[in-house]
Amino acid sequence: MKIVSPEETLFRYQSNCNLADIATRIRSAKRVLVTTHSKPDGDAIGSVLAVLRMCRALSIEAEGWIVGPFEENLLEVVGSDAVVRVDPKAPHFPGDAFDLAVVVDTGAWSQIELLAPWIRARVDSVVNLDHHARGDAIASARVVDVTCGSCTALLVRLADELQIDLGFGANDAGRYSLAEALYVGLATDTGWFRFANARAGEFAIAARLLTAGVHKDEIYARLEQCHRLERVLLESRALSSLRTLACGTVALMSLSKEDFAATGGLPEELAGVVNLPMMAASLRASVLLVEQDGVIKVSFRSKPAVAGGDFLDVNQLAATFGGGGHVHAAGARIKGTLAHAAAEIERALAQSSL
Ligand SMILES: [Mn+2]
């Protein structure tokens, strides 16, 4: 018989304290480690940089630990910040010099992979700030707000709590401010304010960040219009692979190892590719399968419901494969070949409401 502790049975991934408590923990720290999910996206990097810049504003020593590959364009937003990049193939670990760890934009053991043992050994000195619906007890103190369009939208409230000016840290050209880091997370997680999670609150935050000096056009150009041609070629491969499922309402695309070899494109250059088919009116959702060593990485996106119509809850769909995310954007991993993963997706869709 497996003995389950009361804590395990009752665990709900929700806030167990408020931002004032988190602010107190940060203020009383001497050396802070900030980390996020591996293969970080714009919100993950923006969130790490935002916490680093808040620490700097408070004269607290802090280091950001980033694991795995990410879009090189995102380096554009790293200024003089102390960021340690960890290569999962030759990992190194943080050591004992930190008295607080802040985990942002995830709360799932499976997403912090490499640093999980280090975090697990000091859960009492870990705080977690997230906007995802699913996660684990990786921290003693946790604020989870799924109504935030990005993790940085939550961090704006932390900056307010800490009474830090959003324009803090800007250089002479107005770059690398706290506001810029917060904006990068907000803009990328909302698809540059096009997705359903860009609501009045997100626009209100954006207005504050622009007022604090964010150069939005420059940020957009640096993040979205500085890609390598190889990425565009990879996109064309993904689109050529497109077929539809669920009576023509769901796009399924796949990229094999050969596609990467032939184009020179990289897995970390795939941000946004899953959204490309959404321009077709007949499609309600899109799925991208990417072949990586022995495992298929699956990205799910869905359009919000129009005029009382139906929509596909991809968070639920991803959960059937042990993954998760948000209602309209989620991810999972399926073991085996691309063909096997495609068949599994087809089977799961047949059982869903769409
Ligand atoms: Mn996020």
Cα 105 to middle of ligand 1, angstroms: 5
On the question of pLDDT at 353 being above 70, the answer is: no
What's the pLDDT at 352?
79
Average pLDDT for 12-21? 97
Of the candidate ranges 67-76, 117-126, 320-329, the one whose mean pLDDT is the lowest: 67-76
**Inter-CA distances, 162 with 20, 110, 142, Å:** 8, 30, 17
Q: Are 129 and 47 in contact, with CB atoms under 8 Å apart?
A: yes
What domains are there in the chain, each with its CATH number? 6-224 (3.90.1640.10), 229-351 (3.10.310.30)
Cα 144 to middle of ligand 1, angstroms: 12
- 36-70 pLDDT, tens per residue? 999 899 999 999 999 999 999 999 999 999 998 88
Cα 1 to middle of ligand 1, angstroms: 38
Q: Which tokens is 210 given?
A: 């622009």
What's the pLDDT at 161?
98
Of the candidate ranges 135-144, 258-267, 291-300, 302-311, the one whose mean pLDDT is the lowest: 302-311
pLDDT band (50, 70, 90) for residue 228:
very high
On the question of pLDDT at 178 being above 80, the answer is: yes
On the question of pLDDT at 280 being above 60, the answer is: yes
Q: Are 297 and 322 in contact, with CB atoms under 8 Å apart?
A: no
Cα 43 to middle of ligand 1, angstroms: 5
Of the candidate ranges 73-82, 150-159, 292-301, 306-315, the one whose mean pLDDT is the lowest: 306-315
Cα 44 to middle of ligand 1, angstroms: 6
pLDDT band (50, 70, 90) for residue 294:
confident
pLDDT band (50, 70, 90) for residue 218:
very high
**Inter-CA distances, 154 with 79, 131, 308, 320, Å:** 22, 8, 29, 28
Q: How many CA atoms lie within 13 A of 205 on its CB side?
A: 29
Task: Give Dmax (Cα) for the chain.
Answer: 64
Cα 247 to middle of ligand 1, angstroms: 31
Q: What is the distance between the alpha carbons of residues 183 and 165, in angstroms, rounded to a whole number?
A: 14
Average pLDDT for 84-105? 95
What's the pLDDT at 267?
92
